[in-house]
Amino acid sequence: MTRASGWRRTAYHLLLWLVVLIFFAPVAWIILSAFKTTNQILAIPPLVVFEPTLDNFRQIVADPNAGRFLWNSLWLSIIAVLIALAVSFLAAYAFSRFNLKATNFLMFVLLSMRMVPAVAVVIPLYLMYSALGWRNQPLAMLAFYAMFSIPFSVWILKGFIDGVSRRFDETALVNGGSRWHVLFRVVLPQIGPGLVAAFIFNLIFVWNEFLFNLLLGGRDVRNIPVSFSTDLYSDGGMNWTFVAAMTTVYIIPPMIIIYLFQRYLLVGMTFGTVRGEV
Amino acid sequence: MSLETLSPSSGHQETLPELRTNSFRRALARISHLTDDARIFPTLILLPVMFFFIVWNVIPTLWMIGLSFYRYSLMLGNEQFLGTNNYMSIMTDSQVWEALSRTFIWVGAGVAIQTILGLLLGFLFWGSRDMPGRRLALTLLFTPMVLTPVAVGVFFRLLYEPTFGIVNYLTTTVLGVQVNPLNDRAIAFGAVLLVDTWMWTPFMILITLAALGSVPKAELEAAEIDRIPWLKRLRYIIWPNAKFILMLGILLRTIDSFKTLDLVYLMTNGGPGNTTDLIALLLRRKAFEAFDLGWSSAMAILLLLTAIAFTSIYLYILNLNRRRQEAIV
């Protein structure tokens, strides 16, 4: 775009903001609804101006189930992603530096795991978890989520490790460093952004995950998305105030994350295959 | 006495721990060199990933392949070898073909609309570098695609509510038409697709911005100076540079769209009738409501093969893009 005169630039920026607000409107409406009482939500015509209430959030805090499901969402995603990062870092280094025959094949398999419909993947796992009595076991759920995060992490970290020159490795080895030294003291410090991007986006994916938790999990490991499909009804109808408040609580963290880590959004949403600035 | 003054005990205590850590470190260093062999080391660091991969992937998949040749129902509990009968019955099942063609319409229409909108808005946002509040604006714009599909499904049920939902209110006051989007056979598919479009158009905007960002600035400036008409710039400068990232984005969106489950499951669960019944929803119902796992395994394997085909195409384009980038560098 060329430099336009003042008012045209202003008009252009206003247009951009208009587009942004149109896309954000549904979310804004839900956040607004979270501050309404039941009667205000049911009001016709819908209320835009009203007296906000925090009762819905108090209800969430008071509800022991809501707290437990939120806690499950939180610890499952963070710990699983940390495990996945450790495992994936080692694997990505092996794929990047040793010309293994299986590299291309394994990278392909990992990528195709991202492409398969989740419901096709969950069938054999469901059988396995049922047979071994692993359903509703926190550790089994955690291990699954670690597995779930590995393909993306390997892809993204391999990209970043490829970007670190092999000369660093060679120099360290020639000077008497062991390969572990190369791994943790030479390569690891240089791929910080890759680790951050992998951590952030896996966190979002596990945070959003629904189907596997529904089928492989149970009451003890249930996360919020599953509770949306099973626990939202009270007295036969939808508990809309609770829905609005709970969705608000649940969607705020990803929004904050993409505000803070906006430059990783592209790499995160494309499996680490596309890099660039937005 | 002189010895004691020469080597005061306090001095010993200061040097000893240090010595110990040094020897400890040296021992550690010696041990860490044991795995330096160029064959042992990669095997060693691949062990954890192989463990996860084999336990959570290879074994279950093999199990599923085996099961796809059996009649196996969790409810009835009878097992019977069927050979390829499960596959045959999928091929001749009209429900499967209906769900598949619905899924193709879902993917085709959805991806086309999202790509076109994404391209238009992406070009619009191309010059937004000095937009006030850009970071906040982009966050709000890109929010839909990082939201939990389940939460989106639930809150669109609130927006689409036929009595007090805001969508019905707007259509009633503006168009004079009452709507009940999720229970009306005629518009349910469109209503759900609209939500999908809302969620994923920002992704295509993101991809378009990335693609445009990959066009060399020098070439654009040269075209600007030479006053080359817009269409020519598009064709000879922007398209050759931007096409790979665009194709990757479209392909990724196609695959994800093909996988859609959570969103529709929460909004309509395939209804009303079966107007929004996509292939993933059908498979979920067969496997976890009818518990017909032999049949479902066969279906899952067919989807797996589809995914492998998609992945091959994706990697092919990715490699083309990589070669292009290396050529530039």
Q: How far is A51 from chain B (nearest CA, A)?
A: 18
The three-class DSSP label of residue B71 is: strand
Give the pLDDT confidence score for residue A234 in this predicted structure.
60
CA distances to A67, A245, B229 from B263, in Å: 24, 19, 43
Residue B87 sits at the chain A interface (C-beta within 8 Å): no
Q: Is the dihedral of CA A73, A227, B191, B97 positive or negative?
A: positive
- A260 token code pair: 């803070």
Residue A278 sits at the chain B interface (C-beta within 8 Å): yes
The residue among B69, B56, B83 whose CA lies nearest residue B296 is B69
Q: What angle do CA B292, B294, B298 make, to 5 degrees?
A: 115
Beta bridge partners of A234: A237
| pLDDT digit string, tens, across residues B14-61 | 445 555 667 887 888 788 888 888 788 999 999 999 999 999 989 999
**Under 8 Å CB-to-CB from B118, ≥6 apart: which residues?**
B201, B202, B203, B204, B205, B207, B208
* Bond into A45 cis (ω within 30): yes
Q: Predicted ipTM? A: 0.90
Quick one: CATH architecture of B89-328? Orthogonal Bundle (1.10)
What secondary structure does DSSP assign to A18-65, as a single string?
Answer: HHHHHHHHHHHHHHHHTTS-HHHHH-SSPPSS-----HHHHHHHH-HH
Residue pairs between chains A and B whose CB atoms are closer than 8 Å = 283
Give the pLDDT confidence score for residue A191 in this predicted structure.
94
Which chain B residues are Cβ-neighbours of A271 within 8 angstroms? 252
Give the pLDDT confidence score for residue B83 in this predicted structure.
83
| Lowest-pLDDT range of B29-38, B134-143, B288-297 | B29-38
| H-helix segments, B162-292 | 166-170, 188-213, 217-225, 230-232, 239-259, 262-267, 279-288
Q: How far is A277 from chain B (nearest CA, A)?
A: 6
Domains and their CATH numbers in chain A: 65-239+249-269 (1.10.3720.10)
Contact B83, A171 (CB under 8 A): no
Ranges under pLDDT 70 in chain A:
1-4, 232-237, 277-278
Cα–Cα distance measured from residue B99 to residue B281, given in angstroms and rounded to the nearest whole number = 9
Residue A258 sits at the chain B interface (C-beta within 8 Å): yes
Angular region, B133: left φ>0, alpha ψ -120 to 50, beta rest: left
Residue A115 sits at the chain B interface (C-beta within 8 Å): yes
Q: Say if residue B112's pLDDT is above 60.
A: yes
The closest CB to that of B266, out of A224, A228, A244, belongs to: A228
Q: Say if residue B280's pLDDT is above 70.
A: yes
Mean pLDDT of B134-138: 93
User: CB–CB of B280 and A86 under 8 A?
Assistant: no
Residue B194 sits at the chain A interface (C-beta within 8 Å): no
Q: Which residue has the tokens 């158009």?
A: B201
Residue A168 sits at the chain B interface (C-beta within 8 Å): no
Model confidence band, residue B77 (pLDDT cutoffs 50, 70, 90): low
Residue B283 sits at the chain A interface (C-beta within 8 Å): yes
Q: Say if residue B5's pLDDT is above 50.
A: no
Give the pLDDT confidence score for residue A4 in this predicted structure.
55
For chain B, what are the domain ranges? 2-81, 89-328
Residue B133: φ, ψ to 5°: 70, 35
Q: Chain A interface, mutation test: which of B33, B140, B322, most A Cβ atoms within 10 Å?
A: B140
Model confidence band, residue B329 (pLDDT cutoffs 50, 70, 90): low
